[in-house]
Amino acid sequence: MTPNIDTDQASSLQREYYRETAQDYDAMHPRDEHLAALQHVARFLRAIGAKSVLDTGCGTGLAMRTLQAALPDVLIHGNDPSQPLLDIASRRFGIDPARLDCASSERLPYGDGEFDAVVETGKLHHVAAPEKVIAEMLRVARLGVFISDDNFFGSGRLYARVGKFVLARTGLLGYVYRLRRGGHEWLYSPVDGVAWSYSVFDSTPQLAAAGAQVLVLPTSPPGSWAAQAAPLLFASHCLVVALKGSGVDALTSTNHAAPAGIN
């Protein structure tokens, strides 16, 4: 197979970015949207009776710490390809190194259905092929997956949002971005490293095709009626909840009230 030089360059840049920013990573990245999403995730995990959770692309362990505080009896595990970020999770935040694996989200070193649920927060817009990550999340999750990430259709001026959506649906968006970004579909910034223009709505067909029951919850901007009414064009960040058949069954069979949007 011929290597994808552009993707390899992006991966190398991102590894170097994490190595250089690991010490200051949390201060550089306010994550109010993820924290709002994780409140919903904790309620769903409690409702479906999850006992084990994988945080894939866990970084310094924000989601692991947040979910563990909300669900102290649940086993929370994490993986990330950046050892410097995992070192911060362990040394600074006290996460047991035995619960952290230095591994790619595209090839998870876990068995099918090994965890009740898999969570990602802000990982998918940093990879060239988010569908590979989602396929792995679905594989190792028994009950469901939770995706807290960008919706690039929901940012910018309204005409730009509509334009991006039309170009994406006609298959032209990648060509436009390569023209504007020096031949790359990705861009690099000192704040976020390498990033692709990603929308969680691009991933909902894959989740639905896998038989999951899918719910999209806008998490940014907070309190926006437009984001709640039309998240595709007005919410710049969303949480996607995708429950497998066993997850839906667990939800309906528990004594907990189902979170809004899932029957």
Write the pLDDT tens digit of every residue in 172-229.
999 999 999 999 999 999 999 999 999 999 999 999 999 999 999 999 998 899 999 9
SS3 109: coil
Domains, the chain: 5-251 (3.40.50.150)
pLDDT at 35 over 80: yes
Residue 258 DSSP class: P
pLDDT at 254 over 70: no
**43 band by pLDDT with thresholds 50, 70 and 90:** very high
pLDDT of residue 263: 44
pLDDT at 22 over 70: yes
**4 band by pLDDT with thresholds 50, 70 and 90:** low
* Residue in the structure block whose two tokens are 């924000």: 62
Q: Does residue 9 or residue 249 have the better pLDDT?
A: 9
100-102, strands of its sheet edge to edge: 100-102, 75-80, 52-56, 115-121, 141-150, 237-243, 213-220
pLDDT of residue 5: 59
- Residue 186 phi, psi (nearest 5): -100, 165
Question: How many Å apart are CA 219 and CA 34, to the nearest integer?
Answer: 8
This prediction's pTM:
0.93
- Residue 253 phi, psi (nearest 5): -95, -10
pLDDT at 118 over 70: yes
Rounded mean pLDDT of 112-117?
Answer: 98
Question: How many Å apart are CA 215 and CA 206, to the nearest integer?
Answer: 13
DSSP H helical ranges for the chain? 5-21, 25-28, 32-48, 62-70, 83-91, 130-140, 158-169, 173-180, 204-209, 225-229, 231-234, 245-253
* CA nearest to 50, candidates 117, 3, 131: 117
pLDDT at 21 over 90: yes
Rounded mean pLDDT of 151-167?
Answer: 96
**30 band by pLDDT with thresholds 50, 70 and 90:** confident
pLDDT at 76 over 70: yes
pLDDT of residue 3: 44
Query: What does the DSSP assignment read for 126-188?
Result: GSS-HHHHHHHHHHHEEEEEEEEEEBGGGSS-HHHHHHHHHHHHTT-HHHHHHHHTTT-SEEE
Tokens of 144: 């469901």
pLDDT of residue 155: 95
pLDDT at 13 over 50: yes
Q: pLDDT of 77-102, one tens digit each?
A: 999 999 999 999 999 999 999 999 99
Average predicted confidence (pLDDT) for the chain = 93
